[in-house]
Structures are given as C-alpha cells and as structure tokens.
Copies of this chain bind each other. A is one copy, B any other.
C-alpha cells in the first residue's frame, strides 16, 4: 500500500501516518521527494483499514498495491483450473456449452429440451427452478419440483445439470438433485449466500453483478473459495450502461482481463446480456474467438409461450445451427467441442 502525501505536507502529518501504520504491525518505507512524500506500508494489510488513512491530515491519496483476493488470484495459482460438473468439464481445453430453458415449466418440456440441446452438443443442462423476478407478481419458479425434473432429465440424457439458487433452502434442495449451482447477478454480493454456496460441496457458477467491477467479482469468488470450495466458474452476462439497444452491454473484454487475473474458468451468457435471440449467435462466436471456456445459452421449445425470458431464447433449430457454426471457431482456438453424430444420440 502506498500513501501519497499532499505537496508540502507537514512533518507532523507524515509522522502521524507512519505511527498509525507501525502501530498496526506493518513496516514503513519513506520516500521524500522535493514536492511530494510517499509512504509505503509493507506487511499484513488485513490488520489495518487502509481507507481510514484518508482522514489523516495532509494525506492526498491511498494506492493499493496488492489485490484483496488471494485464492482466486492467478499470481498465487498460475495454472488454469478445470472444474468437473457431473460428466462434463469446464476449462481449459474444452469448450463447454450449458443450454436449456430460463425456467423449468413442466417435466415434458424439460425432457424435450434436454434431448434437443444434447443432440446439438451441449454438455450441461441449465434450467431455473427458483427465479428471482423484478416484480413479486411474476412467475417465481417450480422450486424443488423443478429440481426433480432436472434430475430425471440428467438420468435420461447423461447431461450434467445446473440450477440457480437464491437461498440456503434452495441450496439444500439443489445438493440433492443437480451437479452445479448458480449464483445469479442480483446475488453476486449476497455474501451470506456466497458462503453457503462455498460450503455446499457443489461447483458454483458465479454470474457477474450488473454493475460489479471485475475486482468485486473476483472478491465474490473469494468468498466461495474461502469456505473451502475451489470449483468456481465465472460467467460474464453483461453490465448495465446507458445503451438501450441491448438489454445489457456484454463486456467482452472482461474475458482477456480475467484470463490475466485469475485461474478460474470463464464462460459467457449471450442470452441475458443481449436480451434478444437474434444477437445471441454473433455474441457466442465472439466469446469463443476471444478465449472463453464456454457458453450458457437459453433454449426453449416454444419461446413465444415461455414463462420467462422468451425473447432471448433460441429455438432448437436456431441452437443447432449455432453450435454447428461454432465448431470451427472452437477448432481454431484449440478447444474440444463436438456435436454427437445422429447414431450416437439415437442410442
């Protein structure tokens, strides 16, 4: 941590800062320039509240030098992490596609979607059973019943499964039925839920909050990991900006930034970020081209009658065309991705 003093800071002000740092057990490096004095603090920063120093006299600014996340930090764990989800793998050599309906509606619907997405190359079935909705009067999900359908779909197709959780109760149910849990964008800083997810034993997909910085996102991952759970996958799903032509703005440059900062796999959700099915294929290809470890895509048998997020869902036909178009991109970037031949899925 570096403390930049104001030009002409009094010696007494400098001494006060030095004393505060040393009294918290850290070591001080002093650099007096002609104009400006700079104070470096070395040691265990968790022992002091650095931001407090800004209330000291003549302090101009505090510059943090190290990140507050450790377990998620590539500096301390340079090798990319692979996360196993049921029979599927996410990162670093495969291109994993999670697909399925925004909300699980009926068992028949889910089975039919599961078969379709599998035959087009998805390895993980997504389906929402607990839906966080902006209005209390919107459909809130089938809850545990929905999870049971997920389990049956997995048993029949062999697909791994993922479901969003919104509470400890939902986590407890999810552990019984699915292979991976998802923390949604709105709960990215619900620290209680993050800790419970960390203790669940299941791999966790952590979506980025709509207005969360990459740094806050990695700190949220740290909450999960600090409970002993190393299996975290990050999912970029768009941030909120002034542009209204798309629902959110997909922050595609987050992918190379994350690849530099963390060893955790990163996938992209082009469905929620754009909010429109017609933009999904372009964004899926952009994600594959620039190094994402996979995708989460909404697919529905009948988007016009979906109970949630119909406008951004692909039909089976659209999804199949997309995965076939994606395959050569995966090939160029050196990622395993294959679409089963007709004979295989018939089995």
Give the B-binding residues of A (Cβ under 8 A): 2, 4, 7, 20, 27, 29-36, 38, 40, 42, 46, 49, 51-56, 60-61, 63, 65-66, 68-69, 75, 132-139, 166-167, 186-187, 189-193, 195, 209-211, 213-216, 219, 222-223, 226, 239-246, 249-257, 260, 273-274, 276-279, 282-283, 285-291, 303-311, 313, 328-329, 332
Q: A2-B4, A167-B192, A241-B242 are in contact. Are A135 and B68 (CB under 8 A)?
A: yes
**With A253-B249, A286-B289: A222-B136 Cβ-Cβ less than 8 Å:** yes
> How distant is A217 from chain B, measured CB to nearest CB, in Å?
10
Q: 7 more A-B contacts (CB under 8 A) besides A137-B226, A249-B249, A286-B287? A: A29-B32, A31-B40, A49-B308, A53-B304, A132-B191, A136-B223, A190-B193
Which of A186, A214, A288 counts the most chain B CB atoms within 10 A? Answer: A186
- The secondary-structure label for the interface of chain A is mixed
B137–A166 CB distance below 8 A: no
Distance in angstroms from A83 CB to nearest chain B CB is 20
Complex Cα spacing A115 to B38, Å: 39
Residues of B within 8 A of A239 (CB): 241-243, 249
A to B CB contacts below 8 Å, 19 in the list:
A2-B38, A2-B63, A31-B31, A34-B42, A36-B66, A46-B138, A52-B310, A55-B313, A56-B304, A68-B134, A213-B243, A242-B242, A249-B253, A252-B252, A256-B278, A285-B290, A289-B289, A289-B290, A329-B332
| Contact call B36/A40, Cβ cutoff below 8 A | yes
Is the pair B134, A226 in contact by a Cβ cutoff of 8 Å?
no
Q: Which residues of B have CB within 8 Å of A52?
A: 303-306, 310-311
Within the oligomer, what is the number of copies of this chain?
4
Chain B residues contacting A56 (CB-CB under 8 Å) are: 304
From B35, B51, B306, contact of A310 by CB (8 A): B51
Contact partners of A308 in chain B: CB under 8 A: 49
* The one of B241, B279, B290 that contacts A249, using a Cβ cutoff of 8 Å: B241
Q: Complex formed: what's the CA distance from A138 to B219 in Å?
A: 11
Would B252 and A246 count as touching, CB distance under 8 A?
A: no
3 pairs of A and B residues whose beta carbons are closest in the complex: A211-B211, A289-B289, A52-B310
Q: How far is the CA of A191 from the CA of B137 in the complex (A)?
A: 12
Shortest distance from the beta carbon of A176 to any chain B beta carbon, whole Å? 19
Q: With contacts A4-B63, A75-B7 known, is A289 near B279, CB below 8 A?
A: no
CB of A229 to closest CB in B, whole Å: 12
Among A7, A20, A190, A195, chain B packs the most CB atoms within 10 A around the CB of A190
A243: nearest residue on chain B (CB-CB)? B213
